[in-house]
Structure 1
Amino acid sequence: MSSSTIVNVGQYDPGHRVINDLKDCCPSGWTPIPDIDEGCVKEAAKHGVAEYNMEYNETLKYEGIVRAWYMELKEGGLDYGFVLEAMDCVGRVNRYKAVVSEDKGGGEKIWKLKTFMLFQRNN
């Protein structure tokens, strides 16, 4: 995995992997989502922050989506890629990069956080 790609959730290290250029966010094969205020897009992004908080005992507060993309998966689900903003425990609104999978197994949406990393830290 190159330094400009996202890392697996288990490899997240808040102080060491920061990328600062939006052009590095959307790998080829992803389609931009023009309406980032659409309900299911927001739901996926909020789920990503909530799952990250549970996994790492953090308290990030979802603030909003900066950019979003999707990719249709061969097995029928979707991956959503985000640059999103979340407030940390000291009140800084930082940007994070996340990928959340949507699977509609049995007609019910199942969200799974695939990756989450700090994208841009605000001092």
Structure 2
Amino acid sequence: MSYPSWTITEYEGLVAVELPWQVDWNRPVEFRTLRVSNCPFEQWKRFAGEEVRFRDGRAWTFSPDGRPRRMNVTEWETVTVEREIRRPRRRKGYYDWVWQHGKWNKTMETEETGRCL
């Protein structure tokens, strides 16, 4: 059984597990969740690997020699980082962009009805 892996980073001097970017379907924003531990990053810097795996509710990392190390963390704090997804540039056509179903879609206003397609 394979377990998903995420990147270990430093967040305000603490060890953080960085999950991938996700898109909010209701508004044009991407967000990334950071799981921040209460463990100082300097303690983990000498043998913390590039990835971490969660198994049985515990976090594991791997040292450079390949041995697994369990992260002895008692508290996790969740921090969400957001960034805006910019609207695509308008080109020559008579259309506008509207956020629908997690992406920007083109809409075109017709002259006969005045409604967007």
TM-score normalised by L of structure 1? 0.28
Q: Could you say which structure has the higher helix fraction?
A: 1
Q: Could you say which structure has the higher strand fraction?
A: 2
Larger radius of gyration: 2
